[in-house]
Structure 1
């Protein structure tokens, strides 16, 4: 049995990894800035040990990593910025190396090592490079675009109006993955340390066009949803970072060997987009929240 520290444990990737490890019988130390949150309480109920840890608080990091075998590391610029992401990622690597952990699995982004000029890909790649130079066994998993993003924010707002608003042409393919599959692959890498140490692997579960995504969502929601291409200029007014990402998706593409991954790692239980979409609670998601009285 492993004792694995999982950062971002109350988020999508960390939470999925924690649940996959718990299901496999391992001890999970769930690290979060919000140990009293509902998501943290759910993890406790599943058997995880929940500890407060903050990447900018080195004392909390050292305490959280003490006595663990391995680490699942996730960083994010959202809510801070890309400079903070890189700084915090390096601090996490330093703490893991000081604790002499046997293995770090870092989740990055597919193609982050290819000079994309996408700000939050570049910040992740700086953390990757720092990890690879550290004196600790490492693996980098690099997920494609998240299916889970289709159940939140402006995408969900569009679906409520029967529109799949997406900043890509209708027939441009994009590789996708749900958080569940990221967690399953991360758990696999942590459990098979010898096989995965020293490797960087782009991961995805399916490849779809925006037109196909819209048609699938129309089928599972029983709504007449159609794809609408959002101009990149409109995205840029909200986030230059996201606009750069969608421009990369459209001009270069986010290719990942989906067939090879399914062949080589069937135990992950890869979900197609149709499988994932069919498993969502669309009636609840598509019902607008009541206005404040």
Structure 2
């Protein structure tokens, strides 16, 4: 049994990893800036130990990581900026090195190692480099596009009108993964350090075109949904970062060996997009 510290434990990836690690029988320290949140309470009820930790407070990181065996690390620029993400990511790696952890699993982004020019991919690549140079045993898992994003935000706003508004042509494939599969794979990597240490793996569960995504969403929701291509200029007016990401998705493409991952790691329980969509409460989401 390992004691696994999980950052971002009240978020999508961290929460999924915490739940998967608990299900596998490990002790979980759920690290969060909001230990009094409903998400933290839910993890506590599952058996996690909730600890306060702030990337900008090194003392809190040191206290939270002391005595842990391993760390699941997630960083994000959203809500701040990429410079802040890099600073916080380096601080987390430095704290892990100070605690002499036996393994750090960092979640990055698929293709972040390929010079994409996407700001929030490039920031993750900088943090990956800091981790590799730290002397810690490390693994980087790099998820493709998140299925979970289709059940919220501006995508959900479009679905309520029967439109899957997405800034890609209808016939260009995109690799996808739900947070649950990221968590399951992260827990597998944490449990099998010797097999994964020193490796970087792009991960995804399915590959679909926007037209196929719209069709699957319509089937799951029980109502007609059609794809409508959103111009990149519209995305750029809101975020240069996201516009660069969708330009990359459309041009070079976000390919990941989904079939190979399913063959090599069946225990991760990979979900197709249709399976993920069928598990959502679309009546509540679309009519709420």
Interval containing the TM-score (normalised by the shorter chain): over 0.9
Q: How many residues align?
A: 288
Aligned partner of 1:277 in structure 2 is 277
For residues 134-181 of structure 1, what are the alpha-carbon distances to aligned partners after superposition, in whole Å with 9 as ceiling and x for unaligned? Answer: 111000000000000001100000000000000000000000000000
Q: Could you say what secondary structure the match of 1:158 adopts? A: helix
Superposed displacement of residue 287, structure 1? 1.6
Name 2:77's counterpart in structure 1: 77
Distance in 2, matches of 1:47 and 1:40, equals 11
- d(CA) in 2 for partners of 1:207, 1:224: 21
Pair 1:148-2:163 in alignment: no
1:117 pairs with 2:112: no
RMSD (CA atoms): 0.4
- Encode CA deviations 1:63-121: one digit per residue, 9 max, x unaligned: 00001000000000001100000000000000000100000000000000000000000
Matched residues in 2 for 1:121 and 1:201: separation? 15
Secondary structure of 1:113's counterpart equals: helix
Matches within 5 A, 1:179-258: 179-258=179-258
C-alpha deviation, 1:224, in angstroms: 1.2
Indicate whether 1:45 and 2:45 are aligned. Answer: yes
Q: Map Cα deviations across residues 39-80 of structure 1 (whole Å, 9 max, x no partner).
A: 000000000000010000000000000010000000000011
- Map 1:56-135; keep pairs closer than 5 Å: 56-135=56-135
Secondary structure of the corresponding residue to residue 286 of structure 1: helix
Q: 1:222, CA displacement in angstroms?
A: 1.2
CA deviations over 1:178-202 (Å, ceiling 9, x no partner): 0000000000000000000000000
Whether 1:159 aligns to 2:156 is no
In the alignment, the residues of structure 2 paired with residue 159 and residue 230 of structure 1 have an alpha-carbon distance, to the nearest angstrom, of: 14
Q: Which residue in the other structure is 1:31 paired with?
A: 31
Matched residues in 2 for 1:248 and 1:139: separation? 25
Structure 2 CA distance, aligned partners of 1:217 and 1:127?
Answer: 35
SS at match of 1:117: coil
Q: Measure, in 1, the Cα distance between the counterparts of 2:206 and 2:135.
A: 35
Is 1:19 matched with 2:19?
yes
Unaligned runs of 5+ in 1: 289-293
Q: 5+ unaligned residues in a row in structure 2: which ranges? A: none
Distance 1:47 1:220 in 2: 33
SS of the residue aligned with 2:280? coil
Rounded to whole Å, the distance in 1 between the matches of 2:78 and 2:20 is 25
